[in-house]
A and B are shown apart, each in its own frame.
Chain A
Amino acid sequence: MSTPRKAVALISGGLDSLLAARLMLEQGIHVEGINFYTGFCVEGHTHAIRKKDKSKTKRNNALWSAEQLGIKLHILDIIDEYKDVVINPKHGYGANMNPCLDCKIFMVSKAKQWMQEKGFDFIITGEVIGQRPMSQRKDLLPVVVRESGADDLLLRPLCAQNLAPTLPEREGWVDREKLLAFHGRNRKPQMALAKEFGFDDYASPAGGCCFLTDVNYSRKLVDLWQARNKKEYELDDIMLLKVGRHIRPAPHYKLIVSREDGENKFLNGYRKQFSTIEIKSHGGPLTLVDGDLSEDDFKQAASIAARFSQGREAESVNVLITPHGKEGYSLDIPPMSASEIKQEWHV
């Protein structure tokens, strides 16, 4: 009996990549998954910081997919390499700060590199022609093939019959007749196939796996770059954009105000990296302060933070201000009124 051909599957944790991998397993292909962590991935756990999302299942969907498929999954940290994709996308951004086409090219090129290093034969993805406005347009799928260097080693099982035969099909490693011809934004064929395979409880069919597609998140990222006057970031920067109220009362500083206990705990892990404001006389949020502040700035920041405490109606709130790397000091400050907090300060 011959050794089965080996395919590396890009597993996002969504339905399409789950189905594409399953179709290959049906054909006797040895499949292993890879999943890329960019730092912008939307994970149940990130949401789980907030109490309102506590009821959501705390699972990593890519791991869940791999377990459903019975395949190994390799999660690759590409945080540093991915920066250039976000900062300098050759093909530009989508509706927000999402560089979807460059992202897909980058990930397929990384998959090809992994495939070669591990002795695998070809790459599969869950792409479907016409499903996404940027990265899965019919005229752009060949761009991914060409610019990733994957060429005809990239097989898209869900829509392969709409595309030219790839090497795995021409060589008979996979049976093209058993591949599919999905196209467009209609999700019903995928849902029907999922039912046929017995998959339920899969992640949201419409995707949405990246914070860069989110308008509010994108606005915060642009604000970060504008404030620093350069397009760069570290992992902590982009993690913090997911958490808390972001308020910029002046160009040179920003407050990150926790909204509830879960965020308080999360922001607490960053207190050594930032100046902080803690409400002492009332229940209230932990506030991280990003920037170089004067004494008057700290008074303004403390007054804003006090507004979000249970002492918001009090004449005065006691706070502990701890400038970064210095001793903290106590301050009694009147909370800022709601009308004084300008709408344009909210990032």
Chain B
Amino acid sequence: MSSYTLDARNSLCPMPVIKTQNTVNELKAGDTLEVTSTDPGALNDIPAWCRINGHEIINAKENDGVVVIVIRVSD
């Protein structure tokens, strides 16, 4: 199990989701991915993408316009 980061700042919906999706598809079950985004919608969309694809959200927060979401990859 490894930890990874993804910088998706300065891209608008749905690019943060697409970047998250493409990165997660390369990871193994149990890996974690921390995604950083400046799109305010990422706080809704990345968790939504995780829910419909069965991945776990460990943490999701927004501070001063920067969204940080930590995902645990499932099978």
Binding site for B on A (CB under 8 A): 35, 37, 41, 43-46, 48-49, 57-60, 62-64, 66-67, 70-77, 239, 265, 269
Chain B residues closer than 8 Å to A73, beta-carbon distance? 49, 52-53
User: Chain A interface mostly helix, strand, loop or mixed?
Assistant: mixed
Chain A residues closer than 8 Å to B22, beta-carbon distance? 77
Chain B residues closer than 8 Å to A49, beta-carbon distance? 12
Chain B residues closer than 8 Å to A57, beta-carbon distance? 44
B69 to chain A, nearest CB (A): 14
A74 to B43, CA, bound (A): 18
B28 within 8 A of A: no
B48 within 8 A of A: yes
Q: Of residues 4 to 28 in B, which have CB atoms within 8 Å of A's CB atoms? A: 10, 12-15, 17-18, 21-22
Known contacts A72-B53, A73-B49; A63 and B12 CB within 8 A of each other: no
A76 to B52, CA, bound (A): 16
Chain A residues closer than 8 Å to B12, beta-carbon distance? 43, 45-46, 49, 239
Which of B13, B40, B65 is within 8 Å of A60, CB to CB?
Answer: B13
The interface bits of chain B over 45-69 (1 if a CB of A lies within 8 angstroms of the residue's CB, else 0) are 1001101110000000000010000
Chain B residues closer than 8 Å to A71, beta-carbon distance? 52
Which of B45, B52, B65 is within 8 Å of A265, CB to CB?
Answer: B65
Chain B residues closer than 8 Å to A67, beta-carbon distance? 48, 51-52
Looking at B10, B13, B53, the one whose CB has the most chain A CB atoms below 10 A away is B13
A72 to B55, CA, bound (A): 12
Question: Are B14 and A37 neighbours in the complex by a CB distance under 8 Å?
Answer: yes
Question: Are A45 and B52 neighbours in the complex by a CB distance under 8 Å?
Answer: no
Binding site for A on B (CB under 8 A): 10, 12-15, 17-18, 21-22, 38-41, 43-45, 48-49, 51-53, 65
- Supplied contacts A62-B14, A63-B49, 19 more A-B pairs, CB within 8 Å: A43-B13, A43-B14, A43-B41, A44-B13, A44-B41, A58-B40, A58-B43, A58-B44, A59-B41, A59-B45, A60-B13, A60-B41, A60-B44, A60-B48, A63-B48, A64-B48, A73-B49, A77-B15, A269-B38
Question: Are A37 and B18 neighbours in the complex by a CB distance under 8 Å?
Answer: yes
Question: Are B18 and A60 neighbours in the complex by a CB distance under 8 Å?
Answer: no
Question: Are B52 and A72 neighbours in the complex by a CB distance under 8 Å?
Answer: yes
Chain B residues closer than 8 Å to A60, beta-carbon distance? 13-14, 17, 41, 44-45, 48
Question: Are A74 and B40 neighbours in the complex by a CB distance under 8 Å?
Answer: no
Can you list 8 contacts pairing A with B, beta carbon distance less than 8 Å? A43-B14, A49-B12, A58-B44, A60-B17, A63-B14, A63-B49, A67-B51, A71-B52
Question: Are B45 and A63 neighbours in the complex by a CB distance under 8 Å?
Answer: yes
Question: Are A63 and B18 neighbours in the complex by a CB distance under 8 Å?
Answer: no
Chain A residues closer than 8 Å to B13, beta-carbon distance? 43-46, 60
A135 to chain B, nearest CB (A): 22
Question: Are A59 and B48 neighbours in the complex by a CB distance under 8 Å?
Answer: yes
A180 to chain B, nearest CB (A): 26
B35 to chain A, nearest CB (A): 15
A66 to B38, CA, bound (A): 24
B16 to chain A, nearest CB (A): 9
Question: Are B52 and A77 neighbours in the complex by a CB distance under 8 Å?
Answer: no
Chain B residues closer than 8 Å to A265, beta-carbon distance? 65
Known contacts A37-B14, A45-B12, A63-B48; A58 and B41 CB within 8 A of each other: yes
Chain B residues closer than 8 Å to A77, beta-carbon distance? 15, 18, 22
Question: Are B52 and A74 neighbours in the complex by a CB distance under 8 Å?
Answer: no
